[in-house]
Structures are given as structure tokens and as C-alpha cells.
């Protein structure tokens, strides 16, 4: 599991340090902002980086940190790797507050909120060229004003960056339409969940009465903008029977969406608590997902599989599977050794449990 925090020494008293780590001097926007800390030495597992007369030391190899953007809070003994230069999976956790209680939420909401927008703004400006940055929560749109300001200001300085915003879609308003038509939002993909075409079923899954009806209003509103939309659906026991109907609904009423991501559950947070009740084993019954894929893709609607190890997907449908699990929380099991599809496979979540997971794999290993 890749560390997102590193043991650190050399914090600044009373100030949060946001810096880019470099092994060689660079001449670009980040260096112009004088935010580069350059490698001075690597001693006994600690990489030392300096700017002016200030030095910080991080536990790790310098070559693995080159180009990373880190945050070191005052009096802290660890640094946060906000942006990892060699990763495709960089996300900024805007807030842990949320106004829904999804039964399979992997990041259960918390009441407390810390405003990090200024820090995240700077981190984005220091990011590598053409980076894709995820915006996640909680529910980022609870702080819509600050979020929109971040997206617009970053675009003004770094129009090369692309954002992938995970939101429950409950907070768009008619007054947002003109803003969403502006160039600053052309590089934003809004990832919005729809779990069922049956309103009561969707509302039960997200723990909010009226959520489905609000989504209909949201999609109608977004249809008047140039917004790019990804529909997300986690497969569960409580919605698997509705997947084909959901495919029909999406292709009929939201044909302008860019992509439909059909996702397996991530066994952490509320999903771990509800695993026995909600996990639907697609390794033994792929039919509901297959029907949904056939309907959607047959109508030209780009449907893909996320978080599905290839060994759990029938060969005819493996072409739809995306290596989607973030590198920092991805693992391969012992039985993956020697698999001819490993280089194409997205693997398993770090917290995947073989004994409670896909039965077809478990039975194959015991055979």
C-alpha cells in the first residue's frame, strides 16, 4: 500500500508549508512561485530538501518523491502527499461532511470540517503538467462557492489541468447554469451516482428522501450546460435486479452523459458494516450486469466496469473492465502470481477479504 503520509522533520513554526519536491532545478510556474524544495542529500532513508536556509527531511527515497507536492502542517511529524507526480490517482478530500448516508459509503461522513481550499488551490497550481485531479468528500458541493472559486481560479493559472468531481448531485441550482457554461468548467467531469431507476429504492440506498427527484432536476439543469457527466452505480443486492431498467432509464433520459461506471463495492466504511447484506457476488451471477452492459453499449452509451478484477468477469465482458482502483489502495492476491491478465487487471482493494468476497475465486483456489 502506497503511503500518502510520510514521516517528516523540519516543520515551520506557526505556518503550513506547501511545497514541490525536486531532485533537480526546474524553470516553470512552480519554481517561479518559489515553492520548490530541492534535494540536498539522502541519508539513512531520509531525503533532505532545502529552499533558502530552510530544510525538511522526509522518510523515503528522493527519486520516488520527485515532483510531488506536499503539505507539512505546523508542529507536525508527518507530511501529506497532496499530489504525487508519478500517479494517475490524485484526489483532494474537500470535506468529510455529507448530506447523505449511503449504505455502501467508503468514506463515512463526519460533522467536523476544516477549510483547506487555499492549500488545495496552491497544490493544484504546483501540480504536474496535464494532471487529472480528483475532488472528493464527503460532499464537496456543500461548499459550492469555494469549490467553484477554486475551479475557476486554478483554470485561470493552469488551464491544462482536468478535474474529476465526485458529488451526489443534490446542490446544483438554476443560477449555476451560466457559470457552468464558462470555459473554466470545460475540463471538469462531474461524477454523479444513480443507484436505481426506482425512486424509493435509490432514496433508501442514499438515506435521503427526495434524492432521486432532485437528481432529475439536476440532470435537466445540466443538460442546458456543456457539463461532462459520469453516472456512477455501485452494484448491490438491493439494486442488482434494477440494473437493466436503469440502463434503459439512463439511455432514454440522460443520453448526454459521457460515461456510465458500473462499480463493485469497496469493503470499507459503511460498506464493510453492510457487506453481508449488500455485497452482490458478480463472480457467480454476472447476468444483471451483463444485461445492463448490453442495453447501454448497444445504444451507444459508454458503460464500463469499475473495481471488477478480471477473473470475476466473463471473458466476453472483460473488454469493459477498467483498472480503476487507485494505486495507493490496490493489491494483488497470491493467486494472481502467474496470471496472464495481471498487467491488464485493476486488482483488488487493499481491504478486500477473500473469505467474504468473490465465491468463484475462493472455490477455484480450494479446488
Determine contact, residues 133/92, Cβ cutoff 8 Å.
yes
Q: What is the pLDDT of residue 362?
A: 81
Please, which contacts does 327-331 make with residues 24 or more away whose CB atoms are closer than 8 Å? 327/2, 327/87, 327/88, 327/89, 328/1, 328/2, 328/3, 328/4, 328/87, 328/89, 329/1, 331/1
Flag whether pLDDT at 73 surpasses 60: yes
Q: What is the pLDDT of residue 28?
A: 82
Q: Which of 31, 302, 30 is nearest to 160 (CA)?
A: 30
- Mention every residue, 6+ apart, whose C-beta is less than 8 A from residue 316: none
Q: What is the pLDDT of residue 275?
A: 98
SS3 70: strand
Q: What is the pLDDT of residue 29?
A: 74
Mean pLDDT across the chain? 95
Q: What is the pLDDT of residue 332?
A: 95
List of domains in the chain? 5-83 (no CATH), 90-366 (3.20.20.70)
Q: How confident is the model at residue 75 (pLDDT cuts 50, 70, 90)?
A: confident
What is the per-residue burial (b if ≥16 Cβ within 10 Å, else e) of 244-281? bbbbbebbeebeebebbbbbbbbbbbbbbebbeebbbb
Determine contact, residues 308/282, Cβ cutoff 8 Å.
yes
Give me the DSSP letters along 190-217. EEEE---SSHHHHHHHHT-TTHHHHHHH
Q: What is the pLDDT of residue 364?
A: 63
Report which secondary-structure segment, H or E, holds 325: none
Q: How confident is the model at residue 178 (pLDDT cuts 50, 70, 90)?
A: very high
Q: How confident is the model at residue 15 (pLDDT cuts 50, 70, 90)?
A: confident
Q: How confident is the model at residue 365 (pLDDT cuts 50, 70, 90)?
A: low
**Sign of the CA dihedral 282, 284, 286, 287?**
negative
Q: Which of 265, 271, 315, 256 is nearest to 290 (CA)?
A: 315
Tens-digit pLDDT profile for residues 236-259: 999 999 999 999 999 999 999 999
Give me the DSSP letters along 330-354. EE--GGGTT-TTGGG---EETT--G
Cα separation of the two ends of the chain: 29
Q: How confident is the model at residue 186 (pLDDT cuts 50, 70, 90)?
A: very high
Ordered strands of the 228-234 beta sheet: 90-93, 132-136, 162-166, 188-193, 228-234, 259-263, 303-306, 321-322
Average pLDDT over residues 42-61: 95
Q: Which of 29-43, 252-266, 342-356 has the lowest mean pLDDT?
A: 29-43
Amino acid at each position: 500500500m502506497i503511503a500518502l503520509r510520510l514521516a517528516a522533520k523540519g516543520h515551520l513554526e506557526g505556518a503550513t508549508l506547501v511545497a514541490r519536491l525536486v531532485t533537480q532545478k526546474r524553470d516553470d510556474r512552480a519554481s517561479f512561485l518559489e515553492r520548490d524544495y530541492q534535494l540536498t542529500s539522502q541519508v539513512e532513508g531520509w531525503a533532505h530538501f532545502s529552499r533558502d536556509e530552510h530544510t525538511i527531511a522526509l522518510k523515503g527515497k528522493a527519486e520516488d518523491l520527485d515532483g510531488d507536492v506536499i503539505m507539512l502542517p505546523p508542529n507536525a511529524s508527518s507530511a501529506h502527499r497532496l499530489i504525487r507526480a508519478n500517479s494517475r490517482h490524485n484526489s483532494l478530500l474537500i470535506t468529510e461532511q455529507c448530506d447523505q448516508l449511503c449504505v455502501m459509503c467508503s468514506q463515512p461522513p463526519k460533522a467536523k470540517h476544516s477549510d483547506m481550499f487555499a492549500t488545495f488551490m496552491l497544490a493544484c497550481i504546483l501540480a504536474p503538467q496535464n494532471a487529472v485531479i480528483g475532488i472528493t468528500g464527503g460532499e464537496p458541493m456543500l461548499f459550492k462557492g469555494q469549490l467553484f472559486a477554486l475551479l475557476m481560479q486554478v483554470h485561470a493559472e493552469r488551464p491544462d489541468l482536468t478535474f474529476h468531481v465526485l458529488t451526489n448531485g443534490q446542490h446544483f441550482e438554476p443560477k449555476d447554469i451560466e457559470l457552468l457554461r464558462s470555459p473554466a468548467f470545460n475540463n471538469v467531469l462531474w461524477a454523479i451516482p444513480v443507484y436505481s431507476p426506482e425512486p424509493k429504492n435509490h432514496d433508501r440506498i442514499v438515506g435521503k428522501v427526495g434524492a432521486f427527484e432532485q437528481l432529475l432536476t439536476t440532470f435537466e439543469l445540466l443538460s442546458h450546460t456543456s457539463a461532462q457527466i459520469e453516472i456512477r452505480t455501485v452494484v448491490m443486492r438491493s439494486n442488482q435486479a434494477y440494473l437493466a431498467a436503469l440502463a434503459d432509464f439512463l439511455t432514454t433520459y440522460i443520453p448526454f452523459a459521457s460515461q456510465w461506471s458500473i462499480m463493485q463495492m469497496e469493503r470499507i466504511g459503511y460498506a464493510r458494516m453492510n457487506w453481508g447484506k449488500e455485497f452482490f457476488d458478480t463472480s457467480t451471477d454476472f447476468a444483471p450486469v451483463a444485461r445492463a452492459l448490453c442495453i447501454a453499449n448497444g445504444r451507444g452509451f459508454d458503460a464500463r466496469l469499475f473495481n471488477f478484477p478480471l477473473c470475476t468477469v466473463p471473458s466476453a465482458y472483460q473488454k469493459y473492465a477498467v483498472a480503476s482502483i487507485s494505486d495507493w489502495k490496490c493489491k494483488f492476491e497470491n493467486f494472481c502470481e502467474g496470471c496472464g491478465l495481471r498487467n491488464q487487471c485493476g486488482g483488488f482493494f487493499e481491504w478486500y477479504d477473500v473469505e467474504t468476497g468473490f465465491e468463484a475465486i475462493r472455490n477455484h483456489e480450494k479446488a
